[in-house]
């Protein structure tokens, strides 16, 4: 089974599918996943929001589930994790104002560790200043933020994802199969120990 330890940074009104599905899928595939939210402890919950595409000019939003956190933000160290997952929804909008969150996101990029972000998760990447010259998908409304941060916006189908080195991104939850498959490929590749040629 995979040994990778993954940090998920989330918050209130995180997108329901974009939080629950990767959390449960990665656990089911043998990864360790610690879900945290600034200001909350293990055992507490964040409220989720269900975003859907119902023919309007933008997505609709409804109250979702209570997602239970299994780790405490103030107790975790980014250095102890092999990869980062950033769900979308409303949470990145306010999480990007937290200096400790920004510091954690930067650590994964500086260390070259795998990072998966989906939908509005790109807001956090843009705020952390880690997108310069990187190809990044996001919900289309986040395109200006990706480009203003120096990123190359990937205008792909809502069911697709894109990898740029250690960064795997997608526009929204319909891309889960592609997004999670690409992320696990990057994760597995990063966990292969290097061997010295004889």
pLDDT per residue of the chain (198 residues) written in tens, 0 to 9: 466 999 999 999 999 999 999 999 999 999 999 999 999 999 999 999 999 888 988 888 999 999 999 999 999 999 999 999 999 999 999 999 999 999 999 999 999 999 999 999 999 999 999 999 999 999 999 999 999 999 999 999 999 999 999 999 999 999 999 999 999 999 999 876 554 443
Tell me whether residue 194 is in a domain.
no
Alpha carbon distance 84, 92 (integer Å): 14
Tell me whether residue 112 is in a domain.
yes
What's the domain range around 48?
Answer: 3-189
By the 10 Å C-beta count (0-12 exposed, 13-18 middle, 19+ buried), 174 is classed as middle
Tell me whether residue 196 is in a domain.
no
Tell me whether residue 197 is in a domain.
no
Cβ(85)–Cβ(109) below 8 Å: no
Tell me whether residue 54 is in a domain.
yes
Tell me whether residue 195 is in a domain.
no
User: The CATH number of the domain where 146 resides is what?
Assistant: 3.40.50.880
- Domains contained in the chain, number: 1
Tell me whether residue 156 is in a domain.
yes
Indicate which residues carry an active-site annotation. 119-120
Residues near 191 by beta carbon (within 8 Å), at least 6 away in sequence: 2, 3, 4, 82
Tell me whether residue 100 is in a domain.
yes
């Amino acid at each position: 089974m995979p040994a990778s330890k993954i940090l998920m940074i989330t918050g209130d009104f995180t997108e329901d599918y974009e939080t629950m599905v990767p959390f449960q899928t990665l656990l089911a595939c043998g990864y360790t996943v610690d879900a945290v939210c600034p200001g909350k402890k293990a055992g507490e919950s964040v409220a989720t929001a269900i975003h859907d595409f119902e023919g309007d000019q933008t997505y609709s939003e409804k109250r979702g589930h209570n997602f239970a956190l299994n780790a405490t933000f103030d107790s975790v160290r980014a250095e102890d994790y092999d990869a980062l997952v950033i769900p979308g929804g409303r949470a990145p909008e306010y999480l990007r104002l937290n200096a400790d969150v920004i510091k954690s996101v930067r650590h994964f990029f500086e260390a070259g560790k795998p990072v998966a972000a989906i939908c509005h998760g790109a807001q956090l990447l843009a705020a952390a200043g880690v997108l310069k010259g990187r190809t990044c998908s996001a919900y289309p409304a986040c395109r200006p933020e990706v480009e203003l941060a120096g990123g190359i916006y990937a205008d792909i189908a809502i069911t697709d994802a894109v990898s740029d080195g250690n960064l795997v991104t997608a526009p929204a939850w319909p891309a889960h199969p592609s997004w999670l498959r690409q992320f696990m490929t990057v994760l597995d590749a990063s966990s292969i120990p290097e061997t010295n040629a004889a």
